[in-house]
Amino acid sequence: KLAVTVYPDQQTASKKVAARIADVIRGKQASGEKAVLGLATGVTPIRVYNELVRLHKEEGLSFKNVITFNLDEYYPMKPDAAQSYVTFMYENLFSHIDIEKANVHIPDGTLAADDVAEWCLNYEKQIEALGGLDLQILGIGRTGHIGFNEPGSAPNSGTRLVTLDDLTRADAARDFGGKANVPTKAITMGVGTIFKAREIILMAWSKKKAPIIKKAIEGEISGEVPATYLQLSDNVEFVLDEDAASDL
Ligand code: GLP
């Protein structure tokens, strides 16, 4: 049975998620190990990152033993572009904490087309070599995508180049000053990559996400809504605010 936790608002929920991330980091620190985290972009995790920055600045949470792998990046995309997930991650988290730059991994939007497949395999290998992801956080797109695993993604898919759905590009249009400027492709961890994480937390806030949250949690498991695959895993928790949970 899928674990679903509903909080009154996203601020409260974000603090709880940040506290769980901090627990993983501190637990690993205590035993002299690295914490391997899968991170997400988008509006949804911003307050979680704000809270992690606060925990670093005010409560001495260190990220020296943390290794991160981001879910996805637009393709093509220059890392220093305003819309890149590299820019997003540094602005919202990495620039404000003591993580080592070498421990940050984000899919490379500058690869030559011929190099993408090998790069993606290597991303998987790097995660595996570290013993896998301890915790993966996720948002959800209105198509039901996790990472950029759009409808049609296979449950065992790995990191790869994908074509973005029309609705996903429309939702991103504001960031790019028009849908025409939104890349048509992205590099994303696969559903299978995400599934290997020891713990997965999918977050969603606001009424806008209520219909897709209903489908993800109560709908038939199908590649048409990739987030429904999460119903098959017993280490997933959906963390919602009341608005996102309002159709359940
Ligand atoms: C983006 C990201 C996803 C994210 C989703 C929702 O396209 N690739 O990882 O979960 O869309 O975004 P938001 O949190 O802004 O609603």
State which of 14, 41, 159, 184 you would mutate to test the pocket of ligand 1, scoring each by most atoms of that ligand within 8 A of its C-beta. 41
For tokens 């991303």, the residue is 123
Q: Which two tokens stand for residue 2?
A: 């899928």
Whether residue 190 has its Cβ less than 6 Å from ligand 1: no
pLDDT over 90 (residue 61): yes
Dump pLDDT digits (tens) for 20-57. 999 999 999 999 999 999 999 999 999 999 999 999 99
Beta bridge pairs of residue 208:
none
Dump pLDDT digits (tens) for 118-134. 999 999 999 999 999 99
- Which pLDDT belongs to residue 1? 76
As separate numbers, helices (DSSP H) first and strands (DSSP E) second, the chain gives: 7, 10
**Ligand 1 atom with the shortest distance to the CA of 45:** 14
**What is the DSSP code (8-state) at residue 146?**
B
- Rounded Cα distance between 71 and 159, Å, is 9
CA of 141 to the centre of ligand 1 (A): 5
- Rounded Cα distance between 79 and 73, Å, is 9
CA of 146 to the centre of ligand 1 (A): 8
Dump pLDDT digits (tens) for 192-248. 999 999 999 999 999 999 999 999 999 999 999 999 999 999 999 999 999 999 999
| Residue 79, helix vs strand vs coil | coil
The residues, any chain, with a CB within 8 Å of residue 154's CB and separated by 6 or more, are: 190, 191, 192, 223
- Which pLDDT belongs to residue 155? 97
- Please compute the mean of the pLDDT values over residues 153-158 and round it to a whole number: 97
Of residues 71, 74, 53, 70, the one with CA closest to residue 62? 53
CA of 1 to the centre of ligand 1 (A): 25
Whether residue 148 has its Cβ less than 6 Å from ligand 1: yes
Strands (E), 66-188: 66-70, 72-75, 104-105, 135-138, 160-163, 185-188
- Rounded Cα distance between 161 and 176, Å, is 20
Of residues 72, 206, 208, 217, the one with CA closest to residue 142? 208
Task: Say what the alpha-carbon torsion angle 110, 115, 121, 124 is, to the nearest 10 degrees.
Answer: -10
Q: Which two tokens stand for residue 94?
A: 């990495």
Dump pLDDT digits (tens) for 81-117. 999 999 999 999 999 999 999 999 999 999 999 999 9
Q: Which two tokens stand for residue 116?
A: 């993408």
Whether residue 158 has its Cβ less than 6 Å from ligand 1: no
- Rounded Cα distance between 213 and 131, Å, is 31
- Rounded Cα distance between 46 and 177, Å, is 21
The fold for domain 3-241 equals Rossmann fold (3.40.50)
The b/e string for 75-112 (b: 16+ C-beta within 10 A; e otherwise) is bbbeeeeebbbbbbbbebbbebbebeeebbbbbbbebe
